[in-house]
Structure 1
Amino acid sequence: MANPSFAARSYRDDAVVLRTHKLGEADRIIILLTKHHGQVRAVAKGVRRTSSRFGARLEPFMVADLQLVSGRTLDVVTQAVAKGAYGTAIASDYTCYTAAAAMVETAEKLSDADADSGTAQYNLLVGALASLSRSAHPPELILDSYLLRALATGGWAPSFTDCARCGTPGPHNAFSAPLGGMVCSDCRPPGSPAPAPETVGLLGALLTGDWTTADASDGVHRREAAGLVASYLQWHLERSLKSLKHVERS
């Protein structure tokens, strides 16, 4: 059977650039989270040349409308139209940059493992990057809110009210990442951390998007919440994020 034609293998989709790395002298491999095709690995030919028509549109944190052609191992980017030029604003601020790096690393791992939630993960990531680029909220809060929501979208929604194990109504004073969030005294594993009530309230606000509460939180509770979010993320991803250790906390 003949190979399908170029036109038959061509498709169009919105995508956010997660990561890139060099290929040969002028090409670049692009890791994309697309709106309708999940995670896509593609090659952008000649994109590193100064004469490239769309090199700047395929940098990390950028959102673009792409034309691609399916390949055996890598798809090929043939056209790119910018939709969200978030990369420049994010890269100009180190705190925003490190937060965005942790976001796209998380998105890459989650979308690689769960293709079914690709559209929801795409929308969530684009919204978070847009918020970072316009400094809508403190970067560390946008990051932690994104991480909690991304895990929830992937099927690991934490509970910060009722007991995550038995469902007993809260509030409760112990946190267990393996059990799924706050737990009652009967379900609490030995050695579980006991976060401050204000920290638990902040975690709930970050998960639900209550920015009035989140923005009014104190630094000590933000740092405690960040530690719990990191432990929850690491447990469910079964690995740590390389970029998370570089995130600056106020």
Structure 2
Amino acid sequence: MSQLIRSISFNPRDQHILAGGSIYGAVGIWDVRKSQGPVECVPIGVGHSESVTSLIWGNSKVLWWDMRKINAPIDACDKPLTMKKYNLMENTYGDNWAKTPADKYLDSSFCTIEYANEKKLQQDHPCLIQLIRDKYLLEPASKELPYVLDHPYTIDPSDGQANDIREILKNKTKGFFVESGGFDGEFLSNTFFMERYLDWNGLLIKADQKIFSKLHSRNRKAFSLPNCISTKTLPDQIIQKNNNFI
């Protein structure tokens, strides 16, 4: 990160706290007693759109100003430092984020799995979104690749649910599905018919790694995730129990 820093300033009331501004416009605050990265960050494009050339502490605060609105700072960071809550369900920053790709809001050197876990980043935080895209989400198979199926002549492998969906949506084409518990991508699949015959895209989710590997081998034309759907709005770890084993 040192090659990206343009300016630094130590907190005059706490020798362990310093603020740094990057050449790309991000502002981070570090506790020198910790080595995991900044303890607080204003992402790129939120506070500054250009290089941060200087920083000044005031009353143990860092203030962010929009020079077009100089009557008051647009944001402030006090010590003790706390992470902002990002949650689209509460519409905190969702409207702004929708206008710019998520990876433009946080310097990549800040965005690590350790950072996301430590800060308990909310489900729509740009860093968490980027980590899911880079490390977990698998792209759809090419449409040029044939499906690899156990029963290739079965038109609808679902147990009737797909037919009900088609009736409700009047055989809608080019939709998007999310199938949690996608199993092996074929057996009793509720989405396979829409994908194959109605040109739907979607997301297949299966946490069991052994079964997920089978799902991925099917060449489904949908995104896939080898994870769970959390009951919380932040990253969580669970223990899965199947047939008396963990």
Q: TM-score, normalised by structure 2?
A: 0.27
Which has the larger helix fraction? 1
Task: Give 1 or 2 for the bigger CA radius of gyration.
Answer: 2
Q: Which has the higher contact order (CA 8 A, sep 6+)?
A: 1
